[in-house]
Each structure stands twice: as structure tokens, then as C-alpha cells.
């Protein structure tokens, strides 16, 4: 998409999603240069390095230094990251039961069935070490 002879900038979230997809597909830590090459886009290495650094600061990526450059790897898969975002949003709310009620009422029938099955499975599962309950604060 061109605008005044320049290519339009795409949303930042799209580039972050592309970076995460590359890292998940790799299955091993990658440097900014390796991620840049895997993206097959005309990006500066510093742009990719900045995204990787910010994702590391947010706790989304682990970082190691196997040589002169940092290498990054996701701390969780896409589903794990989405679940973490959902949990953090819920933890911000003083009326958790109301938030959960509104969330559940907005689910499709299929998603409601899946959630119901998962809750039943979680209740039947043995308690984790340390005696913590599998499900916190019923809804």
C-alpha cells in the first residue's frame, strides 16, 4: 500500500505477531539478525532488536547470550500467552465474579461446552503440589 510515494506503515501489533510466529516456528532461540532474515521483510535489524527487547522486558521472551548477540525464545506458546493476558485482565478487576459472568454469557454454545468440560476436568484433577486449589474463587 503506497501513500505519497512511501509504503504505509503497518500496525505495530502485526509486526510483533510476525516476530512471535517466527520464534514459535523456530523452536530454538534466535538472534535479532536471524529473526530479521526469517521475516523476509525490509526491516532494520535495530527495529527487530527493539521489538525483541521490549517483549523480553514484558516477560514474553526469554533471553540468553550464547555469543556476542542475545538470542530470544518465547516463554509460552500462543495459547499460554493469551491465557496469561486474560488472567492479568481479570486480576485487575475488583468485581471478578461480574467479569466472569459477563465473559461466560458472551461465549458461543460450543465455547461454553468446552469451558464446562475443562472446569469438570480441572475439578477431577489432583491438587498440585503445595496444596493449592486447581480452581480459585468459584464463579
pLDDT in tens, 71-82: 999 999 989 988
> Which are the contacts of 65, defined by CB distance < 8 A and separation ≥ 6?
71
**pLDDT score, position 132:** 47
Q: What is the pTM of this model?
A: 0.65
Give the cell for residue 133: 486449589
What residues have CB less than 8 Å from 34, skipping those under 6 apart?
26, 71
Query: 47-92 pLDDT, tens per residue?
Result: 999 999 999 999 999 999 988 999 999 999 989 988 988 998 999 9
Amino acid at each position: 500500500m503506497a501513500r505519497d510515494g512511501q509504503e504505509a506503515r503497518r500496525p505495530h501489533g502485526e509486526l510483533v505477531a510476525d516476530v512471535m510466529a517466527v520464534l514459535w516456528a523456530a523452536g530454538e532461540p534466535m538472534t535479532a539478525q536471524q529473526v530479521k532474515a526469517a521475516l523476509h521483510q525490509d526491516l532494520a535489524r535495530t527495529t527487530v532488536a527493539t521489538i525483541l527487547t521490549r517483549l523480553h522486558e514484558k516477560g514474553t521472551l526469554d533471553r540468553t547470550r550464547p555469543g556476542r548477540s542475545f538470542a530470544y525464545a518465547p516463554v509460552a506458546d500462543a495459547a499460554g500467552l493469551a491465557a496469561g493476558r486474560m488472567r492479568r485482565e481479570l486480576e485487575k478487576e475488583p468485581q471478578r465474579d461480574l467479569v466472569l459472568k459477563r465473559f461466560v454469557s458472551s461465549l458461543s454454545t460450543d465455547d461454553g461446552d468446552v469451558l464446562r468440560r475443562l472446569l469438570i476436568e480441572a475439578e477431577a484433577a489432583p491438587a498440585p503440589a503445595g496444596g493449592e486449589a486447581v480452581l480459585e474463587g468459584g464463579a
